[in-house]
Structure 1
Amino acid sequence: MSRIYNFSAGPSALPEAVLLQAQQEMLDWRGTGMSVMEMSHRGKHFMTIAETLYQDLRELLAIPDHYKIALLQGGATAQFSFIPLNLLNGKNKACYVNTGAWSGKAIKDASRYCQVQVSASSEDSRFTTIPERERWDIDPDAAYFHYTSNETIHGVEFPETPEVGDMPLVADMSSNILSRQFDVSRFGLIYAGAQKNMGPAGVTVVIVRDDLIGHADSSVPPVFDYQQQINNDSMLNTPATYNWYLLGLVLQWLKQQGGIAAIEQRNIDKAEKLYRAVDQSALYRNPVDKSCRSRMNVPFVLADSALDKEFLALAEKNGLGALKGHRSVGGMRASIYNAMPESGVDALIEFMAEFERTH
């Protein structure tokens, strides 16, 4: 069976070249006679993989020297708690903006550790917009300001980095990291689960400014303490070694594509093409305000929801997988991360046009 075009929101499709390389190296990594997943995480072979991964990530994102990188477990969900545990530094308030399901989860978890000030929310628009910046209510005494740069479920993406003054800016970039250019130095902390644009599930990348670490209370377990993790090269416990390896392969693939500037243009072209097809249709509709439509996750609904099941079944038969929208939103969702080739978007548009013609 040939591979499908996989529009899953995550775990998502990986570049085929990466999968093929992993297949070739499965039993014997570069003449060692063993698989990466069999290697000691302290051994010289795996340390080479880890060092290359860190170097490539710094290069691709132009991460300044005074920022540290940690590769952790528990997904972005764990970071919802790790962030207040590490960044409150004696304060009792943090500011959050609520633009969808994932920022809502972050707010709920942070509320266990501090007073959360919801500086702005788009809940009244059913998370189809981003609140205007001039309406945000930010407490200058808060420890940090948190936002979700791309809401995977609702398909809302911040078009640019928000300005919050001198307060440390914290971003959940799980679903759009490595997909567009941004200035790391604008942030205090960035975190991202790997399973969208970076690799398989099981690794969470944390990029944190060095003055923000080392302030966790002594009661915080060492594996939750950024300083402890960084001091131990993210190896307080045995890391997800094979997932690190695959993350490294994705970073090398991205460099081969021309880096983030090149992949961003490709992502712009894919998204514009798909949104144009939706907007010009009488059958499909995207509910998100055009000023903040996601390049990564494109939700759309059919004019007659009774056609949803047939649409999905026929799409599967045509090699277009995982298009069902999140249960909280309904309809369809096409996730078109870095690994989705333009041919996949073209195939989806062609199918949508034919489905509309016959319905």
Structure 2
Amino acid sequence: MVRAYNFNAGPAALPEEVLLKAQKEFLDFEGSHMSVMELSHRSKEYSRVHDRASALLRELMEIPEDYEVLFLQGGASLQFSMVPMNLLDKNLGASYILTGSWSEKALKEAKKVGPVEVAASTKESGYHAIPALADIQWKQETSYVHLTSNNTIYGTQWKEFPQTGHIPLITDMSSDILSKKIDVSRFGLIYAGAQKNLGPSGVTVVIIRKDLIKHDDSLPTMLSYDTHVNSRSLYNTPPTFAIYLLSLVLEWTKDHGGVSQIEKLNKEKSALIYNAIDESSGFYTGHADRDSRSDMNITFTLPSSELTKQFLQEAANEGFIGLSGHRSVGGCRASIYNAVPLEHCLTLAEFMKNFQKTNS
């Protein structure tokens, strides 16, 4: 079977090996004579899946013992509300760094909970870059500092995170979690929708330092981190099949050398496409400043809207999927998450070069 060159921004490509294993086990998981989707979330068979997913994530990300790993629902969008509801002290407020649409949405939801400030923003310059660390200013005492580590729409990514000291750093890593090594101990809380690097849509990972988890009877039960910690993310029926696929993706990541090897491969993949842009003599123009370029989402424009439409149509004819830029910025975007093969990035780079030669 011919597989598409899948450059979708999310839900995104999954490893073919994972899909084949899931297909093999689809009707009979580990001799249960049932699909994973049919298992009780209280069963011993599913408990092994759940625990395996948590253990693998801890191993791959080297998550310290003083952190909890949660599997929740509602996507990163629900975390925009859960984070301030659980962590924002109204006497202190919270600080948000704006680098794109998703950080703006997080800020909007936090404002509904308590006072917030913008610690830095690159909105006025069109979100072409990540703020310089020296330009980020937050109050000496604030509940937390929030940022989005990778910006899918604009194609920018943090290369170095701010040092926040005793103030918790809260980070939306939906689009670059597990793509490179990070020091988890630098963060108070990390959250990520799974549908980029971790698995299918439907499950959201939250990694939270234990001292930030507090019981608060004023919170709706389902919106309290304490509820999900105490129930091992099993307070209600979890997205069992999504967590099963997440565990398979984590196994695949481990089998392919872990995060260090994945990071190396991701840099090779992005270099192929960025080189096609940089060597095009202006035919392709990248949106992001070079020192802020994302290794996950490569955004670029062509000389005219007519050429952009032609590029996208010819690309689709060749089997490339998901290359249209986000509707808010236009142009083109290639999302090259962990599961996108190096060969697909090489094929795209060659297509870009050939299209330029034909249309320059």
Q: What pairs with 1:213-292 in structure 2 (closer than 5 Å)?
A: 213-215=213-215, 217-282=216-281, 283-292=283-292
Q: 2:251 is paired with a residue of what secondary structure?
A: helix
* 8 Å CA contact retained: 1:8, 1:335: yes
Q: CA RMSD in A?
A: 1.0
Give unpaired runs (5+ residues) of structure 1.
none
Q: Deviations over 1:8-35 (max 9, x none)?
A: 0000000000000000000001111110
Q: Deviations over 1:178-200 (max 9, x none)?
A: 00000000000000000000000
* 8 Å CA contact retained: 1:278, 1:285: yes
Q: Deviations over 1:19-72 (max 9, x none)?
A: 000000000011111100000000000001111111100000000001001100
Task: Give the whole-Å Cα distance in 2 for the aligned partners of 1:135 and 1:250.
Answer: 38
Q: 2:124 is paired with a residue of what secondary structure?
A: helix
Task: Give the whole-Å Cα distance in 2 for the aligned partners of 1:153 and 1:118.
Answer: 20
Q: Deviations over 1:244-278 (max 9, x none)?
A: 00000000000000000000000011111211110
Task: Give the whole-Å Cα distance in 1 for the aligned partners of 2:89 and 2:129.
Answer: 32
Give unpaired runs (5+ residues) of structure 2.
none
Task: Give the whole-Å Cα distance in 2 for the aligned partners of 1:90 and 1:236.
Answer: 28
Q: 2:323 is paired with a residue of what secondary structure?
A: coil
**Deviation of 1:229 (Å):** 0.7
TM-score of the aligned structures, taking structure 1 as reference length:
0.98
AA aligned to 2:250 is L
TM-score of the aligned structures, taking structure 2 as reference length:
0.98
Q: Does 1:329 align with 2:348?
A: no
**Deviation of 1:92 (Å):** 4.3
Q: Deviations over 1:330-353 (max 9, x none)?
A: 000000000011100011011111
* 8 Å CA contact retained: 1:222, 1:229: no
Task: Give the whole-Å Cα distance in 2 for the aligned partners of 1:146 and 1:208.
Answer: 14
Task: Give the whole-Å Cα distance in 2 for the aligned partners of 1:65 and 1:91.
Answer: 30
Q: What pairs with 1:1-359 in structure 2 (closer than 5 Å)?
A: 2-89=2-89, 91-215=91-215, 217-282=216-281, 283-359=283-359
**Deviation of 1:221 (Å):** 0.9
- The list of structure 1 runs, each at least 4 consecutive aligned residues, that deviate by more than 4 angstroms after superposition, is none
**Deviation of 1:287 (Å):** 2.1
AA aligned to 1:80 is F
Q: Deviations over 1:161-214 (max 9, x none)?
A: 221221000000000000000000000000000000000000000000000001
* 8 Å CA contact retained: 1:7, 1:323: yes
Task: Give the whole-Å Cα distance in 2 for the aligned partners of 1:33 and 1:180.
Answer: 38
Q: Deviations over 1:130-158 (max 9, x none)?
A: 12211222112110000000011100100
Task: Give the whole-Å Cα distance in 1 for the aligned partners of 2:236 and 2:31.
Answer: 27
Q: 2:275 is paired with a residue of what secondary structure?
A: helix
**Deviation of 1:357 (Å):** 1.2
**Deviation of 1:235 (Å):** 1.3
* 8 Å CA contact retained: 1:194, 1:202: yes
AA aligned to 2:73 is Q
Kindly tell me the number of residue pairs found equivalent between the two proteins: 358
